[in-house]
Structure formats: C-alpha cells, structure tokens
C-alpha cells in the first residue's frame, strides 16, 4: 500500500525519504507518532482530535472513499502526452514523463471514468499529485474535457477531485490552453444543466485552480488544503512581509466566499450523497 | 531613449546617432561633401538593421515585447479608433487601472475594447500596477464583455501583461476564480471576440481576457504558460545558473508568434515595423487596425450559436497526445 507517498519530491529513489518505513510515522502537522495501519483506516487523517491533519492520498484512495465498492470503470486510460515543444531544457520531457510513469505506475496525472455514489451514477475525474505534482498538460485537459462530455451525454453529475501545482510547464502554451479547453466544455455542461461538484484537495493551485476547479456549481474543500492562484512564496516576495497564518487554505477561501463548505475526508462521501439527493436523476 | 536601448540594438543605435550628427553638421555648415558619406552610412545601417532583426532569438523578442517605449493598449486605441469613451470599474470593489476598457469606434463601427495597460515610467506603473491585473480588473473586463453582448457589439481584447498580480488582496478576492470565470464566460459570449497579444502574454493573467474567435499576435509579442525567468528558476535552483539559462528557457518554451502559429494557438501574425512596434507607432497601429477590421468582417455575419460552437471547437482541439493501444 502506498497511501502516504509524498507526491511533490520529484523522481528520487523512494529509499532516500526521511519518513521511516515500517509501522510508524510522524504527523506532518502535530508531530504525533501515528500507526500506519490505523492511519490507513482513518483515510489518511491524523487521529489526534486537535489536529486531524489530512495527509496527501492518491486517486485510488479517493475512488475507494467516494464511490460504491467496485463501481469505478476507468475511461480513456490509454492517453499519453506528446512532446509538442521538443522540450529539452535541463531534461528531455519524454524521459521526465517516463521516470514518473515508472515510479507511479500511472501514465498521466489524471484518471477518469464513471462510478456510483449511493447507487447514483456519476462521471468522475481525479488528479493525482504523485504524477508531476498533478500538473495539467494536454492529457489532463483532454481527460477532464472527455469527462465533461460524458456528463453531458449521460446527464450523470460530474465530480472532479483536484490536486495540482498548476499547468505543465514542459508543454508551454498548450498547457495554458487546457484551461480554456476544460472551461469551455463546462459552458456546455451548464447549458445541459447537469450538476458539477468540484472537490479541492491539498494543494490546488494556479492553472487548475484558475480553470475547472473554480467553476463547480458546488465547491467542497478538504480541511487545511492549500489553494489559490499564485504560490505563497511568490506573493511573499512581492509583499515583503510575512503572510497571515492560514493564508490560502480551504478555511481562508471559505471565509472569503470561494468555497461552499470545508468537509473532512471521512465525511465527503456522505456529503456527496446528500448533495446529489437535491438534484433529481435524469434520463 | 538612452535608457531603453536594448543590448543587441546598441551597434545600430550608435550608427544611427552618428548619421544624425553628420547630417546636422552637413546642414549647419552647408557641407556638401558629406552627402556621399552619409549615404554610405545609411546603407550600412540598413544592412545592420536587417541583419539584427531578421535573426532575433526568442529571448531578444521578449526584450522587444517588454520595451518601455512599446505602444500599449491606450496608444493603439488612440491611433486606431475614431472615437473612444472609457468605462471604469467592476461595480463590486474598485476600478483596476491595470485593465482599461471602453466603447470605441473602429472603421465606422462601434465595439467594446478591453486591454491590459502598462505604464511608461514609475509613476504610471504604480497606477497601472505594471499591467498586472487584480481580480477586480478581470471582473471589470467581464462587466464590459457582458455589456457588449447585451447590445450585440463585438469585443476587441488586447493582451499585454507580465502576469496576473500575485498579491494578498488578489487571493482574498479570488484571483483564480476571476480568471476561471472570464475564460468560461468568454467561451459562451454571443458576440464576436477578437484577441490580440500586443506585447507580453503571460499565463493565466493573459488568458483571463484571451478567449476568442480569432487570436492574433503582433510579430514581436510573446505568449506562454510562464515567463522565461520563472521557468528557469523552477528548473535551475542556483540563482546564477537560472539567470544564465533564461535565454535557453525562452527557446525551450517556444513562445514567439511563429511558434504559436505552428502550434495552432494563434491564427495570424501582424507584422511590425523593422526594429519593433516602438520604432513607428502609427505604422504598427495601421497594421493592427487593418488586420482587426478584416477579421471582424469575417466574423460579422456568423450567427451567435455558430460562433460559440466554432469557439469551442477551436479551443477543444488544442493539445498534443496519443492513445496507445492496449497491450
Ligand atoms: Zn496530526
């Protein structure tokens, strides 16, 4: 089981990580020593009631915790990135991709398909931070676009679980255009009056946050997740002083009116079922 | 002009100054013999000009796009439009002066024009925030686009920004949401939208007013997902190395007009005077105007639904990927 891999460290060998392997690990927020198996049972949430830190988990774990058992059917699993710019600076892009593919067992940073939530069929797309920080290139854009198209065709509600560092630099302008591609397809979902629930997890930044992730009919965020347009370091440089604590967290964006509710991971499925109940099933 | 001469232009600017001096001398002293020498130097300058500007690297073009004297949105409006009535504010928070907008008349026809606005000195740039819009700027632009849609006016959007502003207030007021909302609404706006990247087109800050039926680009503009400096900083952790590799990152990012035409992101390149738009404002504005008028004429009679269907088709096909077969 690799529930608690740290996604943002680049393609380094797993052995170099500081987190001790074995049964115990330290909470990244409260330093409590946690039992790995218990943490898994808790869906990756720290058992310290005063902390409840949400560890990063992968798309498989979200599928497990959101959908009815064995209801997920993957679509478009065979999409892989091209190399439109022949990007060679520092590292050849195709090699970079290959490293991440080998390391994560994923072909790309998004997984999409259909499933059921409380027996209600839905279309689902999930980003996975283990693959190049969940960055959006042509494949992520295409998978999200096709998920929206499936929702339009089936009238099944769309659920997107986001986590992303932003657009995929190595695909240049074409990664920027994925923001337009996904958002323009969402205009058609709106026209078809099919609900779209956007779930924001840690972190959801930049190009993904400034496109489909911010365009949900209903937007839910996990506690303590980082989100926003610019990275905190860039803002701090421009500002010159310390940023207030809690800046750019889920709670911050709830306070400022950009998130509907902050909901702990272990209550997400129940919340989804409740929300979907307000939108009658359509043929 | 001294402070705004780009490094690679220096030999040319030096020569031009020499010719100018000689010409003044010849006139005041009535010195006919210099005429031949002036002609010789002018031919040399012309050769040098062609040599420099026909072999510009991507990084050099980025420098031209950022030239302090480069014409900005309000310059083009003044030179292209027979009338302009500026409109201000997002009706929610403030008037963001990094974005300008207003009713204008182009070739006799009314339209809505919006654009990023940079300043030309520190005082202007403090007011314009260096062309970096806050969410209020994007919402101001959206308000004008909705106004245009209501009265069936086409929209001209001029892009010239080093990026959306990375600030505390910008995040508090939802920079990401503002940009996403604009992209979404521009995707379904039922009037023609023509977008022109006139200078810098940096990332989401550019795309926030960058969805349209035709995307045009000035010859020396750049447009990418990230600027070369930031790209280099992300790839190369050491400061010196990052600075040294910035021109290579500009190459790697494929961010100039011919790149974007090849990648299918823009539809046309608008030629600039030799040396860049800052060398001749009127000629640049004339070229921009001719192209924009032509493109609006192409779009004029397309019914709104066909227009937004084609817009979805256009952006829907952007991206490069493969479907590998199951093993
Ligand atoms: Zn904890």
The answer to whether residues A134 and A235 belong to one domain is yes
User: Is residue A10 a part of any domain in this protein?
Assistant: no
pLDDT digit string, tens, across residues B25-81: 877 776 777 788 888 999 999 999 888 888 899 999 999 999 999 999 999 999 999
For residue A237, being part of any structural domain is answered with yes
Closest residue to A210, CB basis, from B176, B263, B326: B176
pLDDT recorded at residue A3:
55
The pLDDT value given to residue A12: 46
- Say whether A235 and B174 touch across the interface (CB within 8 A): no
Indicate the average pLDDT of chain B: 94
- C-beta atoms of B315 and A171 within 8 A: no
Which A residues in the span 181-200 are in contact with B, Cβ-Cβ below 8 Å? 181, 183-188, 191
* Per-residue model confidence (pLDDT) at position B249: 94
Tell me the average pLDDT across A249-278: 97
A38 and A77 share a domain?
A: no
pLDDT at A281: 92
Strands A24-26 and A218-221, sheet pairing:
unpaired
Domain for residue A4, yes or no? no
**Count of Cβ atoms closer than 10 Å to residue B141 Cβ:** 28
A30 plus A145 within the same structural domain:
no
Q: What per-residue confidence (pLDDT) applies to B327?
A: 52
Q: Is the pLDDT of residue B231 over 70?
A: yes
Query: Does the beta carbon of A177 lie under 8 angstroms from any beta carbon of chain B?
Result: yes
Residue B119, token pair as written in the block: 């300043």
Q: Where are the domains of chain B?
A: 7-55, 62-316
Work out the number of other CB atoms within 10 angstroms of the CB of residue A42.
17
Q: Which of A34, A55, A76 lies at the terminal end of a domain, its last residue?
A: A55
Which residue did the predictor score with more confidence, A10 or A249?
A249
% of chain A exceeding 90 in pLDDT? 86
Euclidean distance between CA atoms A193 and B57, whole angstroms: 49
Contact B174 A258 (CB under 8 A): yes
A132 falls within a domain:
yes
Rounded to an integer, what distance in angstroms lies between the CA atom of residue A264 and that of residue B271? 55
Residues of A within 8 A of B235 (CB-CB) are 89-90
More confident residue, B321 or A22: B321
| Mean pLDDT, rounded, for B7-11 | 88
For range B222-251, the mean pLDDT? 94
**pLDDT classification of A10: cutoffs 50, 70, 90:** very low
A258 in the same domain as A186: yes
In a domain, A1, yes or no: no
Instruction: For residue B223, list its beta bridge partners.
Output: B201
φ and ψ of A278, to 5 deg: -80, -15
Across residues B150-156, what is the average pLDDT?
Answer: 98
**In a shared domain, residues A66 and A188:** yes
Predicted confidence at residue B25, as pLDDT, reads 82
Let me know whether A27 and A143 are in one domain. Answer: no
User: Which residues from chain B sit within 8 angstroms of residue A243, using beta carbons?
Assistant: 168
Element (H, E) at A59: helix A59-66
| Partner residue opposite A183 with nearest CB, options B180, B252, B260 | B180
Percentage of residues of chain A with pLDDT beyond 70:
93
Contact A179/B204, CB-based, under 8 Å?
yes
Per-residue confidence (pLDDT) for residue A172, from 0 to 100? 96
The continuous run of DSSP H or E covering B307 comes out as helix B304-316
The pLDDT value given to residue B5: 83
Assign B37 to helix, strand or coil: helix
Same domain, A131 and A199: yes
- Asked if B184 contacts A216 with a C-beta cutoff of 8 angstroms, the reply is no
Task: Print burial letters for A5-19: b (CB count within 10 Å at least 16), e (below 16).
Answer: bebeeeeeeeeeeee
Q: Which tens digit of pLDDT belongs to each residue from B83-108?
A: 999 999 999 999 999 999 999 999 99
CATH of domain B62-316: 3.90.226.10
The tens digit of pLDDT for each residue in A16-28 reads 444 556 789 999 8
- The SS3 assignment for B270 reads strand
pLDDT of residue A237: 85
Whether B3 has a pLDDT exceeding 90, the answer reads no
Nearest CA to B144 among B167, B111, B171? B111
Residue A15 has pLDDT above 60, yes or no: no
* Confidence band of B263 (pLDDT split at 50, 70, 90): very high
Mean pLDDT over A95-106 rounds to: 95
Band (pLDDT 50/70/90 cuts) for residue B178 is very high
| Mean pLDDT, residues B110-138 taken together | 97
| Nearest-neighbour CA in chain B from A23: distance (Å) | 35
pLDDT of residue A168: 96
Domain for residue A92, yes or no? Answer: yes
Q: A113 in contact with B at a CB cutoff of 8 Å?
A: no
Say which residue, A90 or A252, is predicted with more confidence: A252
A residues 12-71 lying closer than 8 A (beta carbon) to B: none
Q: Residue A9 has what pLDDT?
A: 45
Flag whether pLDDT at B2 surpasses 50.
Answer: no
Contacts A207 to B, Cβ<8 Å: 203-204, 225
| Residue with more model confidence, A59 or B1 | A59
Give the per-residue pLDDT at A280: 93
pLDDT exceeds 90 at position A137: yes
Q: Are A40 and A153 found together in one domain?
A: no
Query: Residue A46 above 90 pLDDT?
Result: yes
By residue range, what is the domain housing residue A191?
Answer: 57-276
Let me know whether A178 and A254 are in one domain. Answer: yes
Cβ pairs A/B, distance under 8 A: 203
The reply to whether A135 and A27 lie within a common domain is no
**Tens-digit pLDDT profile for residues A226-244:** 999 999 988 988 788 889 9
- Residue A13 pLDDT: 44
* A67 and A51 within one domain: no
Element housing B51 (H / E): helix B34-54
* pLDDT score at B50: 87
Residue of B nearest to A251 (CA): B172
> Taking CB atoms and an 8 Å cutoff, what residues of chain B touch A183?
180, 183-184, 187
User: What residues of A are in contact with residue B319 (Cβ under 8 Å)?
Assistant: 137-139, 141-142, 174, 177-178, 181
- Given a cut of 60, is residue B147 above it in pLDDT? yes
Of A173, A212, A231, the CB nearest to B223: A173
Evaluate whether A180 touches B209 at the Cβ level (below 8 Å).
no
Do A70 and A176 belong together in one domain?
A: yes
Tens of pLDDT, residue by residue over A51-80, are: 999 999 999 999 999 999 999 999 999 999
Looking at the domain assignment, is residue A256 inside a domain? yes
Over range B300-312, report the average pLDDT. 98
Whether A228 has its CB under 8 Å from any CB of chain B: the answer is: yes
């Amino acid at each position: 089981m690799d529930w608690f891999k740290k996604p943002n460290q680049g393609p380094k060998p797993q052995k170099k990580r500081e987190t001790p392997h074995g049964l115990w690990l330290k909470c990244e927020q409260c330093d409590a020593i946690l039992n790995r198996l218990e943490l898994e049972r808790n869906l990756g949430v720290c058992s310290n009631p005063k902390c409840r830190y949400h560890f990063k988990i992968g798309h498989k774990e979200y599928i497990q915790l959101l959908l009815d058992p064995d209801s997920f059917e993957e679509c478009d699993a065979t999409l892989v990135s091209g190399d439109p710019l022949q990007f060679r600076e520092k590292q050849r892009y195709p090699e970079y991709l290959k490293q991440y593919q080998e390391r994560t067992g994923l072909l790309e940073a998004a997984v999409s398909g259909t499933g059921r939530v409380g027996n209600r069929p839905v279309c689902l797309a999930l980003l996975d931070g283990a693959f190049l920080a969940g960055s959006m290139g042509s494949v992520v854009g295409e998978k999200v676009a096709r998920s929206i198209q499936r929702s339009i065709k089936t009238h099944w509600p769309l659920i997107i679980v986001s986590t992303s560092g932003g657009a995929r630099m190595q695909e240049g302008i074409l990664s920027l255009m994925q923001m337009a591609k996904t958002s323009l397809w969402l205009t058609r979902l709106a026209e078809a009056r099919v609900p779209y629930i956007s779930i924001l997890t840690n972190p959801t930044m930049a190009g993904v946050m400034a496109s489909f992730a911010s365009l949900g009919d209903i937007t839910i965020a996990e506690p303590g997740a980082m989100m926003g347009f610019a990275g905190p370091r860039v803002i701090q440089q421009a500002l010159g002083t310390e940023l207030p604590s809690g800046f750019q967290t889920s709670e911050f964006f709830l306070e400022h009116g950009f998130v509907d509710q902050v909901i702990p991971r272990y209550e997400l499925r129940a919340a989804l079922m409740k929300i979907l109940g307000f939108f009658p099933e359509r043929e | 002009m001294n402070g705004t001469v780009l490094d690679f232009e220096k030999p040319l600017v030096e020569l031009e100054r020499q010719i100018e001096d000689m010409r003044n001398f010849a006139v005041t002293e009535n010195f006919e013999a210099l005429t031949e020498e002036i002609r010789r130097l002018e031919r040399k300058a012309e050769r040098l000009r062609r040599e420099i500007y026909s072999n510009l690297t991507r990084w050099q073009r980025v420098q031209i796009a950022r030239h302090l004297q480069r014409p900005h949105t309000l310059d083009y409006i003044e030179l292209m439009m027979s009338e302009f009535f500026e409109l201000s504010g997002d009706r929610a928070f403030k008037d963001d002066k990094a974005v300008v907008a207003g009713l204008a008349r182009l070739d006799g026809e009314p339209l809505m024009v919006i654009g990023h606005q940079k300043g030309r000195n520190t005082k202007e740039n403090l007011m314009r925030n260096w062309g970096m819009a806050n969410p209020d700027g994007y919402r101001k632009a959206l308000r004008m686009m909705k106004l245009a849609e209501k009265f069936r006016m086409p929209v001209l959007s001029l892009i010239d920004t080093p990026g959306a502003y990375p600030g505390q207030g910008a995040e508090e007021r939802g920079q990401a949401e503002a940009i996403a909302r604009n992209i979404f609404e521009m995707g379904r706006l039922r009037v023609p939208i023509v977008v022109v990247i006139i200078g810098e087109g940096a990332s989401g800050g550019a795309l926030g007013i960058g969805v349209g039926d035709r995307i045009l680009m000035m010859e020396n503009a750049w447009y990418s997902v990230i600027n070369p400096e930031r790209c280099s900083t992300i790839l190369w952790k050491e400061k010196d190395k990052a600075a040294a590799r910035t021109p290579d990152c500009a190459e790697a990012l494929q961010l100039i007009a011919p790149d974007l035409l090849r990648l299918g992101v823009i539809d046309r390149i608008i030629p600039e005077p030799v040396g860049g738009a800052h060398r001749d404002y009127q000629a640049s504005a004339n070229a921009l105007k001719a192209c924009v008028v032509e493109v609006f004429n192409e779009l004029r009679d397309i019914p709104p639904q066909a227009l937004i269907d084609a817009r979805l088709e256009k952006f829907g096909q952007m991206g490069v990927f493969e479907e590998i077969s199951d093993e």
